[in-house]
Amino acid sequence: MKVLSPSTLLVTALLLTGCLIAAGCLRTPALREEGNGTPAGPVPPIVGSWISPARETGGAGELYLFRESGRADATAIPGAPNETLSYEAYFHGTWEETSEMRYLLAGEEIG
């Protein structure tokens, strides 16, 4: 087995670091902005993914996805990792804030 010299290791390390910097892997991302160049407003607290656990043993839970655009999606999930559901249920629709920390979901359930 051939051992690399310290200078070869140094050049290789500098080359790899330069590649990472050029690729943007070592820089902090810029702030998100709207398409018109103005800073984006605050994100509503509902935006993200939410899991509602099963209410009873062997029951189903729900996985909700709320997007900033107002789109909402949901699906039934097994109550435990080793369980399966005998059915599929999906929801696709929209959400809107009706008052502080209260949201209205509208759409259709498929399944």
Strand-strand pairing, 102-110 and 60-66: unpaired
Distances (CA, A) of 92 to 56, 57, 69, 79, 83: 25, 27, 13, 21, 24
Sign (positive/negative) of CA torsion 28, 29, 33, 36? positive
Instruction: Indicate whether this model's pTM tops 0.75.
Output: no
The per-residue pLDDT for range 58-99, each reduced to its tens digit, is 789 999 999 999 999 999 999 888 888 888 999 999 999 998
**Are 96 and 70 spatial neighbours (Cβ–Cβ below 8 Å)?**
yes
What confidence category does residue 56 fall into, taking pLDDT thresholds of 50, 70 and 90?
confident
Helix or strand run (H / E) with residue 11 = helix 6-23
**What is the SS3 assignment for 72?**
strand
Q: For residue 42, give every residue at least 6 positions away whose Cβ sits within 8 Å of its Cβ, in sequence order, or none.
A: none
Give residue 25's pLDDT.
Answer: 58
